[in-house]
Amino acid sequence: MDVEACGVLDRKSPHLLRICDDKFIPGLKEMTDAVHAEGCKMTLQLIHYVKQSVRTGWKQAIEDLSYEEIDEIKKQFVDSTIRARKAGFDGVELHVAHGYTLSSFISLLNKRTDKYGRNTEGRCRIVTEIMDDIRKEVGYDYCVGCRISGEEFVMGGNTLKQTTEIAKIFAQASMDFISVSAGGKTEDGPWYTGYSGSRCMATANLPYGCHVYLSRGIKNALREINSDIPVIVSGKVKDLQHGEEIFQAGDADLIGVCRPALADPDWIKKQVEGREKEMIKCVYCNGCLERDQRHEKVNCVIADKIAERKAAQQAQQN
């Protein structure tokens, strides 16, 4: 189980969990204790974001970050990893996908001309340095992986040609897994409003398994360097049977599911028990995303309507 993006820095927006201070450890520990009591492992996704304005669309450029600011970013990830372990998380996932800080560094859109730019190795340097510092603090027996965008789906951005090489670099930098997402860049529209955003939060018009070709490409690239670290794929995985087909084809080792589990928290259990007909199925309308963008409680709009209908029927019966 992977928890939502959790901020490694103290900044007012966006509205996320925080792990930028020791004061957050007790609350997070309550959560991990509850999950562990059910026999489940739990990782925490760590995220850093540059300054940006939703109102005007302005976003701080990573080209403007000084070495001192970059060092602070690296320290924030390391300190947050230490806190995550103290809070009982079984591992962490570095968010190196979509439109956030680390993703902006590894993208071809990064135009820095110093050691944090110029070529693939330079663009990946901030992440590999973070991994070096994390391993010095927590060792190699603590699970640390990352999430990347297999393709960015913006002009001039990363495609599978670049991300296969990035995956090799990350595997050699002691990543324990690579989770493959896509898109999510703000260059074509803020807050997942452009095409890149629609590929990140795969919409109803896209086919099931629309990102499997990305995990397949990355998996094959890792085989070239004899790396067997797990690759996770997400993006409209239809059901457990679909996931099994992906595994059997050798295209990924794990599947990532979010919106279907939001629509029905028993998404896995009902399939294991043969109760598929009882499932509330995600229709990929992204009503949950719209609620998130309005800073509202993020529930599935379909599940809410079904619950309201059942409550009304029960009230009539009574």
pLDDT of residue 13: 64
**How would residue 211 be classed by pLDDT, with cut points 50, 70 and 90?**
very high
pLDDT of residue 263: 93
Please compute, for residue 304, the number of CA atoms within 13 A of its CA located in the half-sphere on the CB side.
8
Rounded CA-CA distance 171/225 in Å is 9
302 has a pLDDT exceeding 90: no
First to last CA, the chain: 39
Question: Average pLDDT in the 23-50 region?
Answer: 95
Mean pLDDT of all residues belonging to the chain: 92
Amino acid at 239: D
Question: Average pLDDT in the 191-213 region?
Answer: 90
Question: Average pLDDT in the 257-266 region?
Answer: 92
Residue 100 a catalytic site member = yes
What pTM was estimated for this model as a whole?
Answer: 0.93
Rounded CA-CA distance 260/208 in Å is 13
Helix (H, G, I), strand (E, B) or coil at 24: helix
Report the candidate in 173, 152, 147 with the shortest Cα–Cα distance to residue 225.
173
pLDDT of residue 1: 77
Helix (H, G, I), strand (E, B) or coil at 308: helix
Q: What is the CA radius of gyration of the chain?
A: 20
Handedness of CA 1, 175, 81, 61 (dihedral sign): negative
Phi then psi for 18, rounded to 5 degrees?
Answer: -130, 150
What strands lie across the sheet with 17-18, from one edge to the other? 17-18, 2-7, 43-47, 91-96, 143-149, 178-181, 231-234, 254-256
Q: Which residues pair with 262 in a beta bridge?
A: none
Marked catalytic residue, from 100, 116, 142, 192: 100
- What share of the chain has pLDDT > 90, as a percent? 76
Q: What is the per-residue pLDDT across 43-95, written as a single tens digit (0 to 9) for each? A: 999 999 988 776 777 788 999 999 999 999 999 999 999 999 999 999 999 99
CB–CB of 43/89 below 8 Å? Answer: yes
pLDDT of residue 114: 96
Domains and their CATH numbers in the chain? 2-257 (3.20.20.70), 258-318 (no CATH)
pLDDT of residue 58: 79
Torsion of CA 209, 305, 35, 270, to 10 degrees: -60
Distances from the Cα of 284 to the Cα of 116, 195, 232, angstroms: 37, 15, 20
CB–CB of 43/3 below 8 Å? Answer: yes
**How would residue 298 be classed by pLDDT, with cut points 50, 70 and 90?**
confident
Burial label, 107 (beta-carbon count in 10 A; 0-12, 13-18, 19+): buried
CB–CB of 197/181 below 8 Å? Answer: no
